[in-house]
Each structure stands twice: as structure tokens, then as C-alpha cells.
Structure 1
Amino acid sequence: MSATGPAAGLAAEFAAEFAAAQWTRATGAGVDPHEYRRVTGGLASVADWGPSFLRTGHAYVERAEDAELAGSSVSAGEHLLMAARWFHLATLAPYAEAHHAAAEADRAVGRALAVLEPGARRVSGEGFTGWLRGPADAPGTVVVVPGLDSAKEEFLGPVAALLARGLAVFAMDGPGQGVLAGTSALVPDYEQVVGRVVDALGVARIGLVGLSLGGYFAARTAALEPRVAAVATVSGPFRLDWDELPSPVRDIMARRAGGADAARAFARHVDLAALAPRIAAPLLVVDGGADVIPGVTNGEPLARLAPHGTYLSVPHGDHLLGNARPDWLPRLSDHIAHTLAGTRA
């Protein structure tokens, strides 16, 4: 039974606030801002978020199927990539079918790459899965690591920027992330996962890009995995204080880590003070000046303590800097590309 009267008004108001909070994240992921406003403007409550975003994703799948029938494989692939974005964004609000949306996002990307990039290769192993894209003779391979509630489908834009520079790119889901969220939990020792990724890819060196909590994973891995030759973080935490984190963040972490106790223990591991001086690879740390989350120490100390760290703070950038991509994405992509080209084995 749906709420009525004042309760309904409060539910709709909260849904509008939630949609506003996700605005730059969603548009930064590549969805059309006008369509985002249309979809979220009709939400009666946050409980409607997932189903509404799933319906939007399925509408793009239908467009893709129509394009295939019309003989336009490029349009079909483009529609499927957009469907993947909407399916992933459906998982940002908790609801019973979130695992289904993550699977739909994963499937849509696979279908898109089958027609747009037949050479793309699915690579999976213990604790990871993803897509390897780009030329076989690329000057370097980049692993893109998502964060707490993100997934490989959220960062198609950064992947495209790296591919445009001639690099091979492996966009992955790790434990507790994306399509693996329903069957695994977050792990602090992510360097072991990336080590298995590098083994599976069969390359001597990698670049590493980590976004949000993935920035912590990337920095930690760069300190402990000698095959990392270039690294960049975006909105990555230097340290977490569990007691100060906002309740919504603690709730998400509890879902992804396997409970509140596991999440609290995980948060205690997120501290790069001892590891930052061990990062030998050139490091670019990107922060948004407007990205202020209680309990989160942003990346400036990481850049300062790392031997080859550079700090880029974008004053108007928010978390993941979806509102400021021209201010950081080209520089990050060039940092990774130039570093890997200079260290080609």
C-alpha cells in the first residue's frame, strides 16, 4: 500500500533529495541529463528508484533490438552501452532486485562489445571479472578499479579516454563490486586481486586507475604490487573513520562487506599513512574541492607522502568529479599514457 497525505509528500521529497545528490554522479557516468530529470522527477519514493531505472534501461535494450533488426549494429551497441549505465545506476538505491540490475548491466556491456568491439575479451578469475579492450600491441595496459557501490559499467567514460590514447584497458569488478556484489564481499587486501588480474592478462606491467574507494585499492596495490608502473586515484580516501562516516555510507559498506562488524573492520584497514611512502610508480591524485564527507580524509596526504606523487585539486569538483570532467580526465589519461609509454617493457 502506498503512502498518502503528509507521509507521501515526505517520501517524494526524500526521493527528490536523493536524486539531486546523485545528479553529477549519474550525468558523469554518461546518462542524458534531461532524461535523468524526467525519470527521477516521477519518483514517489526512493523505493521507486530501482524499478524506474531498470525500466529505462530496458527501453534502451528495446531500441538496440530495433536497431539490430534495421541493420545498424553501431546504434545497437550504443543503445546497449546506455542501457548498461541505467542498469548500474539502478543499484545505487537499496532494493530487492539490485543484484538483477547488476547482472543486466554486465550483460548489456557484453552484448554491446560483441558488436562494437569484437576483439574485446572477457577475463575472469578468483575474485574478479571484466572486459579487456584495446589493441593487442598497445604501449600499456590499464586496470580500472571501481569503488564501494560502483562498478565497471559506471566508468565507461574514463575507459574511453584511455582507449583513445591507444592503451589497452581492463575495466573490472572485484569482490563485493558490480556483478560480483551478490556473491562476494569487499576485501581490504585488494592488491592480491589485482595481482591475479595481472597474471591473467599476461602483461609485465600495468597502469592502475582507482575511483572513489577504488582509489584506496589502487594506492594500496601500487605500494605492494611491483608490476604497477603508473597509478592515478580519483576521489579516493586516504583514511576512513568509521564513527564519523555518515549513516548512509556505513549502511552501504555494511551491505557490501557482509555486515556492520565486517564493515567496521574493513574501514579500520583504510589508512594509507604507512603505505604511501612505498608507492614507487608516478602517482596522480585527483580530488574535488567540494567533496567533503565526514569521516573521510581525502587524497592530499597520499600525494604528499608518495615519492612521486602529484596532487590535482579541482575546487568546484564534487565526489568523482562528474561535474568537472574536463578539469581532470584528460590530464589523468595523459599521465597514465605518457608514463606507460615511457616504461614500456
Structure 2
Amino acid sequence: MSARDLAAELAAEFVAALWTRATGTGVDPHEYRRVTDGLGSVADCGPAFARTGHGYLQRARDAGSSRSAGECLLMAARWFHLATLAPYPEANRAATEADHALGGALALLEPGARRVSGEGFTGWLRGPGDARGTVVVVPGLDSAKEEFLDLASALLARGLAVFAMDGPGQGVLAATTTLRPEYEQVVGRVVDALGVDRIGLVGLSLGGYFAARTAALEPRVVAAATVSGPFRLDWDELPAPVREIMATRAGGPDAAREFAGQVDLAALAPRIAAPLLVVDGERDVIPGVTNGEPLARLAPHGSYLSVPHGDHLLGNARPDWLPRVADRMAQALTGAGG
């Protein structure tokens, strides 16, 4: 096989691996195929995704100050975020563009949305001012607030307020901060800034660890859910691409190894007093990652939802878990069913 053919084959494998995550983010599957068809190398993916995002920015400009413009900006945010998931030298710029596009979209579609920032966090508070409950959505290793718009929509539809955030080393903050295990301190500052006395918490991927840890240590968490969150990490067994991403986000290989060594919920799980729903996909098998079943078993009020066909983040199985997570949050925070 020639070097050119090998590069194209690796690109096709990368595109296929990202498929359910991309469609779970909310991009059109047919457009994803058009954008990625025939890419010559993995290095071409980031620029292709960013170009698509810029295309949606142009559509938004052409649409003026309209709902259509806001919808185009939301789609631009998704595509710019996808660019950050590829090995792309301009990833930090793409994260900034995703952040700006989301802000522009909410200005048009939800004028009441409010940007809230503080030490180690930034994000958007959405939903009614008199909402009976607030849910904080926590992203993971390379995810960001722009990735989980469908989850936010499901929570908003149930009358909840939603704060979708970037924390240290995440999203738009990745260029200036690094991952830290003490995420409960960040969420504590979020709760203070939001001015509420209790929250629900949903963490996705590595955000599941952050959410579970926070639920154990922050008493204002009254309900929590994790989606594809790790119970424990073993640095030596993690795949090289995961170690590389973690090194980038944590500030170097040594810092990443130290961070991974602290991802272990065995001692904290029994301290989670709030109801906890742990969601896993049975096809989510990553060397060095222990999935969430032990967390659900050790938490006093834990329950476990394992989706047989679900992959990482269960982008291929949203109907099997997303409504249940949203309903659980609504019931815990408002006393009402979904």
C-alpha cells in the first residue's frame, strides 16, 4: 500500500470512529458524509470541519437577524467544535469560534440567555428565570459546552434552567487553563455565581468522573447523572491517542499521568448522598478505562443503565438514555415527571 493510500485509509477510519459522536452532537449525517468523503489524511479533517463551520457563518450573515441566522450559528458552533476533536493545529482558534457562534446563536434565539464566567469556568445559563431547578452540564476530556446541545434542549423542554459550561482545560478555556481533578471546587463557584441553593449535575465522558466526584463532595448537588464516565483510569493501559489528548489538556505527559492516577471513585462513591443515574454503552470499551458499573453499585442511591448497542457518549443510542436522564433531573429537582 502506498503512503497516500495508507493516509486515506487512516482518514477513513478516523471519520468512521467520529461518526456517532458527530451525529450525536447534532450535525446532519448526510452533510457529515459529504464533508468527510474522500479526505486524504487525518490532518485534513480539522480544516474540513472548520470550513464547514465558516460556511454556516456565511449563511447566518446572509440570513440577517432572524431565527434562521440563529440556527445557522448553532450549526456553525457544532462544526467548529468537531474541528477541535481532530489533530488540528488551529484547535484553540476553532474552540473560540465555536464559543462565539454559540453566543451569537443564543443572542438571536434566546435573548434571555446569560453568559456566566468565573475562576476556572465559563458558560451559558439558559431557561426561564423562575425555573424550579437548575442543571449544570459538565463536559469531558475533549468535549465542550457546544457538544451537548440536544441534552440541554431536553432539559429545557422539561422547564429546567441549564448551565452548560467549560471548565479548566475544556472548550474555550483549553488555551489558557489545564485539567484539574478538584472539579468540585469549580462547580462550587458555579453554584455561587448562579445564585441557586441546589443543582442537578450531568457529566459526560470524563465529565462523568467530575460529576460523581462533585456529587460526593458538594452538598448542593441533589441529583446527578453520568454518561460514559470512567470509574477508574489506568495510564499505562490507555490508548496512545487518549494519552496524547490528556497530555495536551493537562499540561504535559507527567501532569497527565498524575491526573489519570487520581481518577478513581472507589473511595468517593459511597459518599454520594444524591440519587445517581449511571449510563454506559456496552460497546464503549477503551483499554485502561473502567466503566461506571462499580460507581452505580457503590453509590448509596445509584442506579445503572447499560445500553447494549451504545458506544462512547451513546451518540448512536440517544433515545435509550437521553429522555431518562432528563426525566430523572426533572423529577429530582421539581418533583414532576418528564
Asked if TM exceeds 0.5, the reply is yes
The AA in structure 1 aligned to 2:29 is P
Matched, 1:48 2:41: no
Give matches, 1:226-265, under 5 Å.
226-265=219-258
The CA deviation at 1:94 is: 1.9
* Equivalent-residue separation in structure 2 for 1:292 and 1:217 (angstroms): 20
The AA in structure 1 aligned to 2:202 is V
- Of 276, 291, 308, which residue of structure 2 is paired with 1:298? 291
Indicate the residue corresponding to 2:33 in structure 1: 37
* Equivalent-residue separation in structure 2 for 1:219 and 1:268 (angstroms): 16
Give matches, 1:1-345, under 5 Å.
6-68=2-64, 73-342=66-335
Q: Show structure 1 runs of 4+ deviating over 2 A.
A: none
* Equivalent-residue separation in structure 1 for 2:153 and 2:147 (angstroms): 12
* Equivalent-residue separation in structure 2 for 1:206 and 1:288 (angstroms): 26
Bigger CA drift: 145-154 or 43-52? 43-52
The AA in structure 1 aligned to 2:91 is A
* Equivalent-residue separation in structure 2 for 1:278 and 1:112 (angstroms): 40
The AA in structure 2 aligned to 1:190 is Y
Report the TM-score, using the length of structure 1 for normalisation.
0.96
**CA-based RMSD:** 0.9
SS in 1 for 2:125: strand
SS in 1 for 2:5: helix
Count of matched residue pairs? 336
Residues 90-136 of structure 1: CA distance to partner in whole angstroms, max 9, x if unpaired? 01112211110000000000000001000000000000000000001
Q: Percent identity?
A: 82
* Equivalent-residue separation in structure 1 for 2:335 and 2:188 (angstroms): 22
The CA deviation at 1:137 is: 0.7
Where does the alignment leave 5 or more consecutive residues of structure 1 unmatched? Answer: none
* Equivalent-residue separation in structure 2 for 1:58 and 1:96 (angstroms): 17
* Equivalent-residue separation in structure 2 for 1:51 and 1:237 (angstroms): 31
SS in 2 for 1:22: helix
* Equivalent-residue separation in structure 1 for 2:137 and 2:251 (angstroms): 24
The CA deviation at 1:40 is: 1.0
Where does the alignment leave 5 or more consecutive residues of structure 2 unmatched? Answer: none
* Equivalent-residue separation in structure 2 for 1:253 and 1:39 (angstroms): 27
Bigger CA drift: 263-272 or 92-101? 92-101
